Amino acid sequence: MREEIIISGRMNKGVDPILHAWGWEIAVYLFLGGLAAGLLIYAGFYAIRNKEKNFFTALKLAPMFVPFFLILGLMALFIDLHHKLYFWRLYTTIHLNSPMSWGAWTLMVITPLSIIYAVLNLKAVFPQFNFSNKYIQYLSFAIEKTENKSPNWNWKFKWMRDLESFLNEKKLILMWALLIYGIILGIYTGILLSAFNARPFWNTSVLGMLFLVSGLSTAAAFIMLISKDHEEIKWFSKIDLAMIGIELFLIIHMFMGFLASTQVQIEAAKMFLGGQYTFVFWGVVVFMGLLLPALLEIMELRGYKINHRFAAILILLGGLILRFVIVYAGQSSRYLY
């Protein structure tokens, strides 16, 4: 028998008795970041492939939410910082070795890009303004309706209209940038954790792919949730099914890797195979968040009458709880004591 105890009474806040320096803020940010990344990847991918007509929600409506998700995620990150007034130090250096530096710079690029794309979609999403609201008149003016579906408003100042048409000309570049940065953001949320070799449960390169795929799956679920187009819902529920399949494969792959690795990683895996995280992971994340919604989606595609929103909400909840489980479990896995 071997017993190791700290006898000098080390009880550092956030570190003892088990590490908990990161809490809900990081989990919420990882979820929102993954969701935003997934939405931008779909928008970029289908815009480049000229599917604007088929996927109104994925290309126009859902990207309107992305800046809000990113800003909420960044606010969660900001709450997590302990030396808040120095946060600008992130932007005085580039540390290629530090995933967090990568993430900070990626967010610096992708957040403004997502805002630009959301603004460019304003006319498509809100073609009819109610001009009785005086705030709307600060930035826009009413125009005569030319066609049935064209917007009844335009930007008030000439430079705004010029800027809009300039950006619309460069839209293909914007969409490529959103696609590429979306992939980087989606993978980075996993790499952020997997770069810590001190935490055996995080220290697996599968995590980058797992978070990217989980982000794509939650994004597909979000599109299903807000879409009104039946064909689009059907298509994204098929994508979601594929993503769930890949996610399940990656989860099995991850545990196979742990069990074939060093003692500390075997112990990390044991937390999920009979240990404290067994139920919340296999019962809540895998069954309730992946298998059950997949079953519902398959039954719906087979023609059963099931509300697709039910599966979508389960997927979103599952994605959120997955981030929580991984953030907390990683901090419980360790080398010493």
Partner 1 sequence: MRYAMAIDTLKCVGCSDCVVACQTENNVPIGYCRDWVVEVTEGTYPQLALENRSERCCHCENAPCVRCCPTGASHKEEGGMVLVTHEKCIGCAACIESCPYDARYTHPDGYVDKCTFCMHRVAEGLKPACVSVCPTKCMYFGDLDNPESEISQILKNRKWKLLIPEAGTDPKLYFLI
Residues that bind partner 1 (CB under 8 A): 1-16, 19, 21-22, 80-84, 86-87, 89-90, 92-93, 95, 97-101, 103-104, 195-199, 262, 331, 334-337
Helix (H, G, I), strand (E, B) or coil at 44: helix
Of 15 and 139, CB closest to partner 1: 15
Give the other-Cβ count within 10 Å of 14's Cβ: 11
Distance of closest approach, residue 88 Cβ to partner 1, in angstroms: 9
Of 308 and 323, CB closest to partner 1: 323
Distance of closest approach, residue 20 Cβ to partner 1, in angstroms: 10
Distance of closest approach, residue 296 Cβ to partner 1, in angstroms: 37
Distance of closest approach, residue 264 Cβ to partner 1, in angstroms: 8
Of 92 and 165, CB closest to partner 1: 92
CA distances from 243 to 54, 68, 209 (A): 21, 24, 11
Q: What is the DSSP letter of 200?
A: T
Upstream peptide bond of 293 is cis (omega within 30 degrees of 0): no
For the chain, the straight-line distance linking the first and the last C-alpha, in angstroms and rounded, comes to 14
| Cα–Cα distance, 299 to 230 (Å, whole number) | 16
| Cα–Cα distance, 326 to 217 (Å, whole number) | 17
Of 126 and 196, CB closest to partner 1: 196
Distance of closest approach, residue 326 Cβ to partner 1, in angstroms: 13
| Cα–Cα distance, 218 to 229 (Å, whole number) | 18
Of 7 and 130, CB closest to partner 1: 7
Residue in 38, 86, 34, 99 with CA at minimum distance from that of residue 63: 38
